Copies of this chain bind each other. A is one copy, B any other.
Amino acid sequence: MTEIDVKQRILAANESAAQDLRARWRRTLVVNLISSPGSGKTTLLESTIERLRDEYRLGAIDGDIATERDANRLRRHGIPAHQILTGGACHLDARQVAQALEQTPMDVDILFIENVGNLICPTSYDLGEDFKVVLLSVTEGDDKPFKYPAIFAKAEVTLITKMDLLQHVNFKLADVRRQVATLRPDGLLLETSAIGGEGLADWCQLLRERLDAKRGVKA
């Protein structure tokens, strides 16, 4: 069996597990958050939880190579959070998510899956989510969408994060918008700052609308 055969088998097994998850989540909105390490996934979730926890039952699954740190941060905001430790693996797969749910059942309205910090490998693995979100912080530079095109093409939503630092760095928003529009013409891009609060109302409104749409609630 070649390396490519093995990869295809792994992805096929993952797809089957992802479909099982999707079938289970008929009334739960599931969001798969992907970014480089340190782009602000956990900080975004902390702010999101604060804004939505009185309105919805929220839960989180965190993927990391090591440390329970991220799940602990989210638990402090009063939601169930399950930490998956991958050991050395560079992405989450659907079977890990299914196992996490066996250990920590989550009967929630919105489930956030915070993937391992990696702009490349998580892209290929369907976790049964409703949509992928890619985060790009302004401190990472404005050349990233074309350098990592797969995730920016697959993610329905691009969140520019750390907008509060924009004044201190050379980051051309218009360039990033152009790249993302090329890779994902029907995608949505939001400019956010978890510290300043910019864009978070729009982000939370997007989650509300997507959950309503999934449940067949008319706007």
Q: Which residues of B contact A148 (CB under 8 A)?
A: 37, 65-66, 117
A102 within 8 A of B: no
Verify B66–A140 contact, CB threshold 8 A: no
Q: Which residues of B contact A69 (CB under 8 A)?
A: 143, 146-147
Verify A118–B147 contact, CB threshold 8 A: no
A218 within 8 A of B: no
Q: A67-B143, A147-B65 are in contact. Are A38 and B37 (CB under 8 A)?
A: no
Verify A120–B165 contact, CB threshold 8 A: no
- Give chain B nearest CB distance to A69 CB in angstroms: 6
- Give chain B nearest CB distance to A65 CB in angstroms: 6
Verify B67–A119 contact, CB threshold 8 A: no
Chain A, interface size: which category?
Answer: 35 or more
Q: Which residues of B contact A6 (CB under 8 A)?
A: 1, 3, 6
Mark interface residues in A113-130 (1 if CB within 8 Å of B CB, else 0): 000111111000000000
Mark interface residues in A28-49 (1 if CB within 8 Å of B CB, else 0): 0000000011100000000000
CA distance A144 to B146 in the complex (A): 25
Q: Which of A36, A64, A150 has the most CB of B within 10 A?
A: A36
A168 within 8 A of B: yes
Q: What is A's interface to B at a CB cutoff of 8 Å?
A: 1, 3, 6, 10, 36-38, 64-67, 69, 88, 90, 116-121, 137, 139-141, 143-144, 146-150, 162, 165, 168-169
Q: List 21 A-B contacts (CB under 8 A).
A: A36-B36, A36-B37, A37-B141, A37-B144, A37-B147, A37-B148, A38-B137, A38-B144, A65-B147, A66-B146, A66-B147, A66-B149, A67-B146, A67-B147, A69-B143, A69-B146, A69-B147, A117-B119, A120-B121, A137-B139, A165-B165
Among all A-B residue pairs, the 8 with the closest Cβ atoms: A38-B140, A139-B139, A90-B120, A36-B36, A1-B1, A36-B37, A38-B141, A6-B6
Q: A90-B120, A121-B121 are in contact. List 16 more A-B contacts (CB 8 A).
A: A3-B6, A6-B6, A36-B37, A37-B140, A37-B147, A38-B141, A38-B144, A65-B148, A69-B143, A69-B146, A69-B147, A90-B90, A117-B119, A118-B119, A139-B139, A139-B165
